[in-house]
A and B are shown apart, each in its own frame.
Chain A
Amino acid sequence: MTGGRHFGMTALVWVVLLTMPFWINAIGGYTELATRIVVMALAAMALNFLLGYTGTLSFGHAAYFGLGAYGAGMTLKYLVPSTALGMLVGMAIGTLAAALIGALIVRLRGVYFAMVTIAFGQVFYFISFRWNSVTGGDDGLTGWHRQPLDLGLMRLDIQNHDTVFYYLVLACFAASVGAMAFLLRSPFGRTLQAIRENERRARFLGIAVERHLWLSFVISCAFVSLAGTLYALLNNFTDPRALRWDMSGNFVMMAVLGGMRSFWGPLIGAAIFVALQDYVSSHTQNWMSVVGSIFVLVVLFFPRGVLGLLHGRGPT
């Protein structure tokens, strides 16, 4: 990707994101949809840190997304009514779980890695589903609400103003995406890409491959769990579906649909996917068939995604 083109793309992305609440109603959307797009884009980009830039196929990221969501929701419901603390706790729980599970799985590769991440993803689904008294079980965690945010000098009323909440989400998105871009440009990020391109050569160069994979996994999951906390705050609700396997598959789909070899690809994928899901599920009962067909069609005909198509390059 050339520097100028990348700069143009980045500028365009930010202009669109910053102005979205002002025009999304005009094209048939609503503010909450805009927020959902940004949240899902954060999750998909965080997944792509691992998928596109480290070359490791994780199909279980919904687990950390859901842990973030439950961490935030349960903090607000049971501990303290503080949005900021809820986000911190949610992110901490998701990251901790990723650190533990990551240590178990970094020695696995390819199909095996994918399968183990899928299977581990289900643990938390069953816990949230079964532990009725605390998590609300299948009905989900209700009876709490995101609280206004005190920033010392000013008070952000994210509770009653959807647009204010949108900009809070966008700020979190910007910070996370900035951090990921910084990491990917650092020697650490270059090392990850070297591992993706040729793991054996990287190993011969003396790179501690497992440690890098583990770090990449944990970083990716940390941002996914942040997205999860925002998702719970957005809905003032979370249920086991937030951490079920189909959610993991949707994240991977967003990354592939937009183009997983470009930085902004997953954002585009998330926007298309979320908007489409919203539209389809309000028009037909059989949205699963529609979404499933999109999966099949994208894989067969657009494996490089929207941005890969535009740039005329992508994974071979």
Chain B
Amino acid sequence: MLQLILFNVFNGLIVGAFYALMALGLSLIINLSGVINFAHGGFLALGAYLAYSLMPFVGFWGALVIAPFLTAALGLVVERVLIRRLYGRDPLYSLLLTFGLAYILEDVTRYIWGAQSLPYPIPPVLARPLSSQFFFLTGYRLFMVALVAAAVAALFVILRHTRLGMRIRAGTLDLETVSALGVNVRVLRTLNFGLGIYLAGLAGVLAAGMLGLQPTIGTSLIMPSFVAIIVGGLGSLPGTLLGGLLIGVASGLATVFMPSASEAIIYAMMGVVLLLRPRGLLGEEGRMQ
């Protein structure tokens, strides 16, 4: 029993780390640009499939490095050509636009790589279980958690200690003043969008190794990411991280006791949080309300 609980908590943490990685990207974009990027899941899938296609040429490690950057590059193009036109308009329009993009991305993925799920090979070094008692601790899972942790740490370092990060944080609070101080807000928003999509691409490559590839891989991960943001508190990146891990563990635990409720429980959590603390666990009062 203990082993079962441990297994599911650990599993929940891994899944939660994914939610967090994806939700952090979404959060960055919402905070600075007020755009709910419904196509985030589509970018995640694209990252995964790009890595799959790159692998024969550059190997597992090469694909892991290159695919997220390619995804981010595509994100930059989409932002410059489409999403940029909708800044400052009713959020309804950007939501509909990214919604349409999500449709297109999923369909294009299916068209290029097929509707069947594909296996994503991982190096044998990582596929081994580390101990016979805790069979679920494969190298790949530990590696994944470590990589997500590193990515999140890097993100927070960028936001806190680089000029770009400081501008992003300042813009989140008051974009007009940042613009008046001479920062090119258009470029800032583009880079910020690219950063968010990079995280989606990275999450995609990692998810592929665990779940395999299918065109809907992104859509199944995006809803929990919304929940993670709401639970953690909109406007707070640490909150998003916390929210992602929390709902991951919660759904992991639910798998032990009531498997059929493993999805519903995160929405129940969201309901409780909204009831007791509408701004989310770490959200600032009055923001985004």
Contact = CB atoms under 8 A, between A and B. Distances in A.
Nearest to B229: A115
Nearest to B104: A292
The secondary structure that dominates the A interface is helix
A119 B111 contact: no
A315 B92 CA distance: 12
Interface string B62-93: 00000000000000000000100110011111
Given A286-B107, A295-B103, A104 B264 contact: no
A127 interface: yes
Contact of A126 (B85, B264, B278): B264
Interface string B87-116: 001111111110111111011100100000
**What band does the interface of chain B fall in when counting residues whose beta carbon is under 8 Å from A?**
35 or more
B27 to A, nearest CB: 11
B289 A299 contact: no
Given A110-B91, A126-B263, A119 B100 contact: no
A300 B106 CA distance: 21
A253 interface: yes
A111 B38 CA distance: 12
A186 B288 CA distance: 31
Nearest to A109: B289
Contacts of B85: 300
B289 A108 contact: yes
A296 B82 CA distance: 8
Interface in B226-267: 226-227, 229-230, 234, 260-261, 263-264, 267
Interface string A121-146: 01100110011000000000000000
Interface of B: 30, 34, 36, 38, 82, 85-86, 89-97, 99-104, 106-108, 111, 223, 226-227, 229-230, 234, 260-261, 263-264, 267-268, 270-271, 274-275, 278, 288-289
In the A-B complex, list the 9 residue pairs whose CB atoms are closest, starting with the nearest.
Answer: A295-B100, A292-B103, A292-B104, A288-B107, A126-B263, A123-B267, A292-B100, A289-B107, A296-B100
Given A57-B91, A111-B36, A294-B100, 15 more contacts: A111-B91, A111-B288, A114-B36, A115-B226, A119-B226, A119-B270, A120-B270, A123-B267, A130-B264, A249-B38, A288-B107, A289-B107, A293-B100, A298-B96, A315-B90
Interface of A: 51, 57, 59, 101, 104-105, 107-112, 114-116, 118-120, 122-123, 126-127, 130-131, 245-246, 249, 252-253, 256, 286, 288-289, 291-296, 298-300, 303, 315
